[in-house]
Structure 1
Amino acid sequence: MRKRYLIEVSPNDQQVVFCPPAIIKNKTLKRFAFGSKSIEVDFLPHPDKNDRIVISKGIQEALKFPNFGIPLHLFIENELLYIGPLIGIFTAGFTPFPLRPIGDRSLFFSKLLSVKKTVGALPFVFGEQHINWEQGTINGYFSHNNKWVTIEVPLPNVIYDRLPNRKSERNPKLIIVKDRLQKDYLIPWYNPGFFNKLDIYERLLQDSSVAVYLPETFPFTSFSMIETMLANYGQIYIKPQNGSLGLGVHQIIYDKHQDEYYCRYQDDGNVNRLRKFSSLEGLFKSVFAHQNLEKMLIQQGIHLLRNEARPVDFRIHTNKDDLGEWHVTAMAAKLAGPGSVTTHLRSGGDIKTIEEIFPKEQCVLYTEKLTKAALLLSKALERNIEGIIGEIGFDLGIDRNGDVWLFEANSKPGRSIFTHPELQEFDLLTRKLSIAFAVFLTEQSLLHPEELFK
Structure 2
Amino acid sequence: MVIINHWDKRMRPLIGILTAKKKDGTIAGNGSLFIELQKKLISLNGISFIFTLDGVQKDSIDGFTYIPEKNEWERISAPYPDLVYNRIPFRSAEEEIKNSDFINELKEKNIPFFNPGFIDKYELYLLLKDHPILHSYLPPTIPAFEKQTLWSFLTQFQSIYLKPAQSARGSGIFKLELDTEKKAILNGIRQSYEYAAFDHFWDEWEDILREKNYLAQKEIKSKKYDGKKFDLRIIAHANNDTYIVTGVGIRQSQKQDITTHIPSGGNLLPYTLFQTKEQDLFIESIAKQIGFALSQNLGFFGEFSIDAGISESGHYYIYEVNSKPMSFDESDIEAKRIDHLCKLFLQRSIHNK
Bin for the TM-score computed over the shorter chain: 0.7 to 0.9
Match for residue 17 of structure 2? 89
Indicate the SS of the match to 2:54.
Answer: helix
Contact 2:147 2:202 (8 Å CA) reproduced:
no
| SS of alignment partner, residue 319 of structure 1 | strand
Kindly indicate whether the alpha-carbon contact (under 8 Å) linking 2:143 and 2:216 is maintained by their aligned counterparts in 1.
yes
- TM-score, normalised relative to structure 2: 0.87
Alignment deviations for residues 130-165 of structure 1 (CA, whole Å, 9 cap, x no partner) = 3331xx223442222233233433211111111111
- Aligned twin of 1:121: 46
Query: How far apart, in 1, do the equivalents of 2:22 and 2:171 lie?
Result: 26
1:105 Cα offset (Å): 3.7
Contact 2:28–2:89 (Cα < 8 Å) also in 1: no
The amino acid across from 1:318 in the alignment is: A
- Residue 264 of structure 1: how far off its partner (Å): 1.2
For the pair shown, the structure with the greater C-alpha radius of gyration is 1
Match of 1:233 in 2: 157
My pick for the range that moved more, 339-348 or 186-195, is 339-348
Q: Decide which of 335, 340, 343 is 1:428's aligned counterpart.
A: 335
Unaligned 5+ residue runs, structure 2?
none
Give 5+ residue unaligned stretches, structure 1: 1-60, 73-83, 267-271, 448-454
Deviations 1:222-267 (A, max 9, x none): 3332333234323111111112221221111233x4544322114x
The one-letter code sitting in structure 1 at the alignment partner of 2:126 is: E
Q: Secondary structure at the match of 1:339?
A: coil
- For the residues of structure 2 that align with 1:177 and 1:94, how far apart are their CA atoms? 22
Pair 1:162 & 2:83 matched: no
| Percent of aligned pairs with the same amino acid | 23
Q: Report whether the alignment pairs 1:193 with 2:110.
A: no
Higher relative contact order, chain-length normalized (CA < 8 Å, sep 6+): 2
Q: Distance in 2 between matches of 1:313 and 1:434?
A: 24
The answer as to whether partners of 2:154 and 2:160 remain within 8 angstroms in 1 is: yes
Taking structure 1 as the reference length, what is the TM-score of the superposition?
0.69
Residue of structure 2 in register with 1:5 after alignment: none
1:247 and 2:159 correspond: no
**Local SS of the residue matching 2:308:** strand
How far apart are 1:289 and its partner, in Å?
5.9
Amino acid at match of 1:242: Q
* Offset, 1:104: 6.8
Assess if the C-alpha contact under 8 Å between 1:324 and 1:437 holds in 2. Answer: no
Contact 2:233 2:306 in 1 (8 A): yes
SS in 1 for 2:349: helix
- Residue correspondences, number: 348
Query: CA, structure 1 residues 186+110, in 2 after alignment: closer, same or farther (shift >3 Å)?
Result: same
CA distance in 1, matches of 2:145, 2:28: 41
3-state SS of paired residue (2:31): helix
**Alpha-carbon offset, residue 303 of structure 1:** 0.9
Structure 1 vs Structure 2 CA RMSD? 2.9
Aligned partner of residue 148 in structure 2, secondary structure: helix
Aligned to 1:52: none
Q: How does 1:10-89 map to 2 (within 5 A)?
A: 64-66=5-7, 84-89=12-17
CA distance in 2, matches of 1:292, 1:259: 21
Distance 1:127 1:276, change over 3 A: closer
Partner of 1:370: 283
CA 1:363/1:338 → structure 2, altered by over 3 Å: closer, same or farther? farther
* Structure 1 residue matching 2:200: 3-state secondary structure: helix
Relative distance call for 1:240 and 1:354 in structure 2 (3 A) is same
Q: Is the 8 A contact 1:95 1:103 kept in 2?
A: no
Tell me, what secondary structure is at the counterpart of 2:6? coil
**2:123 partner SS:** helix
The residue number in structure 2 matching 1:35 is: none
Amino acid at match of 1:183: K
| Counterpart Cα distance in 2 of 1:93 and 1:283 | 38
> Is the Cα–Cα contact under 8 Å of residues 145 and 214 in structure 2 kept in the other structure?
no
**8 A Cα contact 1:126 1:139, kept in partner:** yes
